[in-house]
A and B are shown apart, each in its own frame.
Chain A
Amino acid sequence: MSAFTKLLPASTPKPSAFLVRFMLMAAALLLLAPAVLSDFRLSLLAKFLCFAIIAVGIGLAYGQGGMLVLGQGLFFGLGGYAMGMHLKIVDAGEGQLPDILTYSGKYETLPALWKPFSSAWFAIPVAILLPMAIAALLGAAIFRQRIRGPYFAILSQALAAAFVVVLVGNNALTGGTNGLTNFQSFFGLSVTSPSDQRILYFVVVVVLLIVFLLTRELIIGRYGRLLIAVRDDEDRVRFLGYDPARVKLFAYVVAAGLAGLAGALFVPVVGIISPALLGIVPSIEMVIWVALGGRTVLAWAAAGAVIVNWAKTSVSEQFPSGWLYVQGLLFVVVILFLPKGIAGAVEHLRRYASRLPLPGGLRIATSSGDQAPAPPPKPKATKEAV
């Protein structure tokens, strides 16, 4: 990597280490992965990258803002169902009922809840804005009352649990526990065709890269500094004239919007959205990805989603029931030994390596795989890297 930077002419402004890393990461995702991965693996990666979008939001709210968001499944699900309903209506064709609504025999025409989702101009904004609106309402109530820590986590999770109950309880309208599935097309693409799935993969990668850049910009900016200040001493921030409730609310709402966006992309990529994907357990898993990757470093939070899910798939292919044990073990290891996740371990190794008296210094490759964008080196031991 350093050799690469030396190749660049010195006269132009020196690209920061971040830019180089980001470009390498983008190249790995846009060029390398499609070239070496099979259709099946690439489609799996697309699914994991959808999860990475959720993880970016959690990295902001939890990693920077200290809010233990244990109910992101709700927002992911809202985004997924909004997109799913739209795709079902389009698949059914003009004037026809989607198959899911015919099973109960209750509906002759599109029910009122479904009707507006006929339009993509409604469905796509709703997939993002509805999660944000709900997060804003919930967050405003919670943060204004100065409810934090485990109480916030429980409240946010309760909402995810309630959403599952609502979905299952209204199965004629929502598909119940089966959810929405059997999608055919996505804006002219066939979701069953491998070549169109490849296009979807690129859509997901581009969205993730943009989301990552924008969120990183937020974290680097004054707002990001303020969010860390609120995380570490909310009461002190009040006496600087800021309302911490507003500071936290913004991060929480952004995280909810990202989860909704991820849900909307997940549906065409994976072809299903169901309560099992967004209840309490999936919501907790989302936080585990981020904790394992490294919650305070955004790139590693996103990478955590890919790493954990890739590991889940690999382990499950070999030992169908083995993953639960591995996941439990990973969680214990992170809590006991890696409070900063893989990012912390890499940072530790890097510092250890830099102390070794080797000529030229030993460099630890941190972005050798095609999954993990390496975090920029931390200039100060206690300063937060982004």
Chain B
Amino acid sequence: MSDTMLEIRNLVVAFGAFHAIDDLDLTLHEHEVRFVIGPNGAGKTTLIDSITNLVRPSSGSIRFAGEELIGRSEHAIVRTGIGRTFQKPSVFDKLTVLENVDIAASFRLSFGALLMRRKGISAEVAEVLESVNLTERREDAAGSLSHGQKQWLEVAMVLVQRPRLLLLDEPVAGMTQKERLHTGELVTRIAQQGTTVLVIEHDMDFVRRFAHKVTVMHEGRILTEGTVAEVQQDETVREVYLGRPRDARGAAEALA
């Protein structure tokens, strides 16, 4: 096994008496692609939020490449090499697609260099725009993009920063089947280029198609980990999904 990239130990995130994450341990190795699934309210997004300090953990430890992340500010965490996307795509609507990617790409520039005008399009920015099929629309305001395109733009903004660890929060929510396939291929390609990826996903079809190793979360804890096939056979996973009538669709898919 390669080196440990992310090591979470005894993580607790409490909102009052409610423990959104309850004594969770999780280890990600370098170059790994990990899918995290689980019913609504399992704490999946809270997990990403606490890695990036959007929520502050009550206790525990989150180590990234050996360094403790808890207590660092959001932008400092990003600068250590962690990128994330959000469930609801958040891009800067008033800026053009190109400007969105460009300011993401410029995050390591010195302040003095930031004050200058952008000169042309850098090779990296052009490449990333191409990989998310947005080259044609680069001069359009990001606000004019479709929902799926905004999600891609957001992925592009993270990709161009070349993070070592990429956290994707439901990257295919609201996408068409074709867009899902493209996104899945993109995630696979990113991983092949050496980025460690953590994907939170609801869409079981997408998980089956693109996931190797899956972590199942339930009520703030890790229920089980394994390959897609192993997880699908797991009794407790069946119970978790079946025990919640509202997730009947998810249960049917998980059992399929």
List of A residues within 8 angstroms of B115 by Cβ: 218, 221-223
Q: Is the CB of B75 within 8 A of A241?
A: yes
Which residues of chain B in 98-117 are interfacial with respect to chain A, using CB atoms and an 8 Å cutoff?
A: 99, 102-104, 106-109, 111, 113-117
Nearest chain B CB to A168 CB, angstrom units: 39
Which residues on B sit within 8 Å (CB–CB) of A222?
102-103, 106, 109, 113-118
Q: Are the CB atoms of A243 and B73 closer together than 8 Å?
A: yes
Q: Are B99 and A225 in contact (CB under 8 A)?
A: yes
Q: Using a CB–CB distance below 8 Å, which chain A residues touch chain B?
A: 217-218, 220-223, 225-226, 228-229, 232-233, 236, 238-244, 246, 250, 380-384
How far, in angstroms, from A217 to B141 measured CA to CA in the complex? 21
Q: Do B92 and A233 touch across chains, with their CB atoms under 8 A apart?
A: yes
* Bound CA–CA A241/B163 (angstroms): 11
Tell me the smallest distance from the CB of B165 to a CB of chain A, in Å. Answer: 13
Is A226's CB under 8 angstroms from B157's CB?
no
**A384, B94: Cβ atoms closer than 8 Å:** yes
B84 close to chain A: CB less than 8 A? yes
Give the docked Cα–Cα distance between A69 and B125 (Å).
35
A221 to B108, CA, bound (A): 16
Whether B79 sits at the interface, judged by CB under 8 Å, is yes
Contact A228 B94, CB 8 Å, known A222-B115, A222-B116, A240-B78: yes
Q: Is A238 in contact with B94, judged by CB distance below 8 angstroms?
A: no
Complex contacts, A244 vs chain B, CB 8 Å: 75
A240/B114 in contact, CB under 8 A: no
Using a CB-CB cutoff of 8 Å, which residues 57-95 of chain B contact chain A? 73-75, 78-79, 83-84, 86, 90-95
Question: How many B residues touch A, CB cutoff 8 Å?
Answer: 39
Out of A221, A241, A384, which one reaches B114, CB within 8 Å? A221
> Bound complex: CA of A240 vs CA of B162, how far in Å?
11
Chain B residues with CB below 8 A from A238, complex form: 73-75, 78
User: Besides the contacts A238-B75, A381-B141, what 20 more A-B pairs have beta carbons closer than 8 Å?
Assistant: A217-B117, A218-B115, A221-B118, A222-B115, A225-B95, A226-B106, A228-B94, A229-B95, A229-B103, A232-B94, A233-B90, A233-B92, A241-B79, A246-B111, A380-B140, A382-B141, A383-B94, A383-B96, A383-B141, A384-B94
- The interface residues of chain A lying within 8 Å CB-to-CB of B111 are 246, 250
* Chain A residues within 8 Å of B94, by CB: 228, 232, 382-384
CB neighbours (8 Å) of B96 from chain A are: 380, 383
Contacts of B116 in A (CB 8 A): 221-222
CA distance A236 to B88 in the complex (A): 11
Q: Chain A contacts of B92 at CB under 8 A?
A: 228-229, 232-233, 236
Interface check B52, CB cutoff 8 A: yes
B74 (CB) vs chain A CBs: closest residue: A238
Partner of A382, one of B104, B144, B157: B144
Docked pose: A168 CA to B174 CA in angstroms:
62
Contacts A225-B95, A380-B96, A382-B144 given; does A236 touch B78 at CB 8 Å: no
- Residue in A217, A240, A380, A384 whose beta carbon sits within 8 Å of that of B104 in the complex: A240
Asked if B90 and A380 make an inter-chain contact with CB atoms under 8 angstroms apart, the answer reads no
| Chain B: minimal CB distance from A333 (Å) | 25
Question: A218-B115, A222-B109 are contacts. A382–B93 as well, Cβ < 8 Å?
Answer: yes
CA distance A218 to B108 in the complex (A): 18
Which B residues touch A232, using CB under 8 A? 92-94
Shortest Cβ gap from B99 to chain A (Å): 5
> What CA separation (Å) do A242 and B73 show in the bound complex?
10
Q: Shortest CB–CB separation between residue A34 and chain B, in angstroms?
A: 33
Known: A225-B103, A232-B93. A239 touches B52 (CB 8 A): yes
Binary per-residue interface labels of chain B (16-59) against chain A in the complex, 1 for a CB within 8 Å, 0 otherwise: 00000000000000000000000000000000000010100000
Cβ–Cβ < 8 Å partners of A228 in chain B: 92, 94-95
